[in-house]
A and B are shown apart, each in its own frame.
Chain A
Amino acid sequence: MAFSEHRLIFKNIDAPGYTRDIACYQKHGGYEILKKGLAMGGPAIREEVKKSQLRGRGGAGFPTGTKWSFIDPAKTTKPIYLICNADESEPGTFKDRQIIYKDPHQLIEGMILSCFANGVKLAYLYIRCEFTEGWKILEKALAEAKAAGFLGKNILQSGYDLEIHVHRGAGAYICGEETGLIESLEGKRAYPRIKPPYFPAVLGLYMCPTIVNNVETLCNVKHIVEMGGDAYAKIGRPNNTGTRLLCVSGDVVKPGYYEFPCGAITLGQLIFNVCGGIRNGRRLKAVIPGGSSAKVLRAGEVYKIKEKDSQGNLVDREVKLEDLRMDFDSLAAAGSMAGSGGVIVMDDTRDMVECLANISTFYAHESCGQCTPCREGVLWLKKILSRVAEGHGRDEDPALLKDVADRIAGRTICAFGEAAAWPVQSFLGKFKEEFQLRIRRNGAAAKRDTISLTH
Chain B
Amino acid sequence: MSNCISIPMNPWNHDVAKDEKDLVDVQIDGVWLQMPRGLNVVEAAHRAKKFIPHYCYHPKLSVVGNCRMCLFEMGTPKMGPDRKPILGADGKPEIAWMPRPQIGCATGITPGMGIRTDSPLVKDCRNGVMEFLLINHPLDCTICDQAGECKLQEFSVEYGTGESRFVENKVKKPKNVDLGERIVLDDERCILCSRCVRFSSEVTKDNVLGFVNRGSYSTLTAYPGKRFDNDYSLNTVDICPVGALTSKDFRFQMRVWFLKESKSICTSCGTGCNVTIGSREGKVHRLTPRENEAVNSAWMCDYGRLNFHYLEDKERLQNPLTKAAGEHFPAPWGDALNRAAEGLRKVQPSEIAVVASARMTNEELFVLKRWMDELGVTLVDTVNRPEQGDQFLRSADGNPNTRGAELLGLSHGGRKLSTWGGEIAAGRMKALLVLGGEDVVAAGIPAACLAQLEILIASAILPNATTRVAHVILPGAGFAEKSGSMVNVHGRLQRFSRSIAPPGQAREEWMILRDLREIVTGGNSLHSIEDIWKSMATVIPVFAGLSWGKIGDQGVDLTHSLPAEATAK
Interface string of A155-196 (1 = CB under 8 A from B): 000000000000000001000000000000000010100101
Q: How far is the CB of B555 from chain A (nearest CB, A)?
A: 35
Q: Tell me if A400 is interfacial: C-beta within 8 Å of chain B.
A: yes
Check A377 against B165 for contact (C-beta < 8 Å): no
A365 to B214, CA, bound (A): 7
Known contacts A379-B171, A387-B168, A367 near B68 by CB under 8 Å: no
Check B65 against A371 for contact (C-beta < 8 Å): yes
Q: Tell me if A372 is interfacial: C-beta within 8 Å of chain B.
A: yes
Check B66 against A367 for contact (C-beta < 8 Å): no
Chain A residues near B166 (CB-CB < 8 A): 380
Chain B residues near A364 (CB-CB < 8 A): 215-216
Known contacts A407-B124, A411-B71, A370 near B66 by CB under 8 Å: yes
Check A376 against B66 for contact (C-beta < 8 Å): no
A residues in contact (CB < 8 Å) with B: 172, 189, 191, 194, 196-197, 364-373, 375-380, 383-384, 387, 394, 396, 400, 407, 410-413, 450, 453-454
Check B168 against A372 for contact (C-beta < 8 Å): no
Check B167 against A454 for contact (C-beta < 8 Å): yes
Interface string of B48-71 (1 = CB under 8 A from A): 000000000000000111111101
B residues in contact (CB < 8 Å) with A: 63-69, 71, 99-101, 103, 106-107, 124-125, 128-129, 131-133, 135-136, 165-169, 171, 191-192, 210-211, 213-218
B166 closest partner in A (C-beta): A380
Q: Select one of A367, A396, A410, A453 contacting B215, CB under 8 A.
A: A367
Check A366 against B71 for contact (C-beta < 8 Å): no
Known contacts A371-B66, A372-B66, A383 near B215 by CB under 8 Å: no
A370 closest partner in B (C-beta): B66
Check A194 against B65 for contact (C-beta < 8 Å): yes
Chain B residues near A194 (CB-CB < 8 A): 63-65, 103, 106
Closest 3 CB pairs of A and B: A407-B128, A369-B218, A376-B132
Chain A residues near B218 (CB-CB < 8 A): 369, 375
B193 closest partner in A (C-beta): A372
In this complex, the member of B65, B210, B215, B216 whose beta carbon has the largest number of chain A beta carbons within 10 angstroms is: B215
Check B213 against A369 for contact (C-beta < 8 Å): yes
Q: Select one of A378, A383, A411 contacting B125, CB under 8 A.
A: A411
Q: How far is the CB of B216 from chain A (nearest CB, A)?
A: 4
Q: How far is the CB of A98 from chain B (nearest CB, A)?
A: 29
A326 to B335, CA, bound (A): 102
Chain B residues near A376 (CB-CB < 8 A): 132-133, 135-136, 216
A375 to B192, CA, bound (A): 10
Check B215 against A373 for contact (C-beta < 8 Å): no
Q: List, sorted by A's number, 20 A–B pairs whose CB atoms are closer than 8 Å.
A: A172-B214, A194-B63, A194-B64, A367-B214, A367-B215, A369-B192, A369-B214, A369-B216, A372-B69, A372-B192, A373-B68, A373-B129, A375-B132, A376-B136, A380-B132, A396-B165, A407-B128, A410-B99, A411-B128, A412-B68
In this complex, the member of A197, A371, A396, A454 whose beta carbon has the largest number of chain B beta carbons within 10 angstroms is: A371
A371 closest partner in B (C-beta): B66
In this complex, the member of A365, A371, A372, A394 whose beta carbon has the largest number of chain B beta carbons within 10 angstroms is: A372
Check A410 against B168 for contact (C-beta < 8 Å): no
Chain A residues near B213 (CB-CB < 8 A): 369
Chain A residues near B192 (CB-CB < 8 A): 369-370, 372, 375
Known contacts A376-B133, A410-B100, A411-B128, A366 near B66 by CB under 8 Å: no
A394 to B165, CA, bound (A): 12
Known: A369-B216, A377-B128. 20 other contacts (CB 8 A): A172-B214, A191-B66, A364-B215, A367-B214, A368-B214, A368-B215, A369-B214, A370-B64, A371-B65, A371-B67, A371-B68, A372-B132, A373-B68, A375-B132, A378-B216, A380-B135, A383-B168, A387-B168, A412-B68, A453-B168
